[in-house]
Every structure is written in structure tokens, then in C-alpha cells.
Amino acid sequence: MDEYTIFEQEAIDRNGVLIGIHSKIPSYALWRDIDIERECKEQRINWWRNYIDAKSILHRNMALFWINKLFKN
């Protein structure tokens, strides 16, 4: 199994949430690890806060996971 950096994994998870909610998004709108690496911790937490009340339990849990992970670091 491949090992990802935290930024790569967060990009994968963000893209998963967006695709799960919007079905399809253009490639230019996909998150890349470098985009997330440029954000401060507060920006990253705020991005995930938008999905705490998502309809999908998977998206809610993913948001909570990342918020908790980012608060601990």
C-alpha cells in the first residue's frame, strides 16, 4: 500500500467529499497536496467545518476526523 503525506491524504479526502456531494467536478477544481500545504492550519480546519453537518455520515465523520487531527498537531 502506498504511503501518502498528510497533505496528499487530505487532498484525496477533500476531493472525495466534493465528488460525493457534487458527483463530478472539473479537474481544475480538484485539490492538490501543494494547495493544502500552502494553507495555514486555521484555513484547513475551517474548510472541514463546512462539512460537519453534511447529509452523508461518511462526509461528517471525515470532517470530524480532520478537525480532530489538525487540532492535535
Amino acid at 48: W
pTM: predicted TM-score of the whole model, two decimal places: 0.91
pLDDT along the chain (73 residues), means of 10: 87 97 94 97 98 96 97 87
Helical ranges in the chain per DSSP H: 6-22, 33-37, 41-49, 57-72
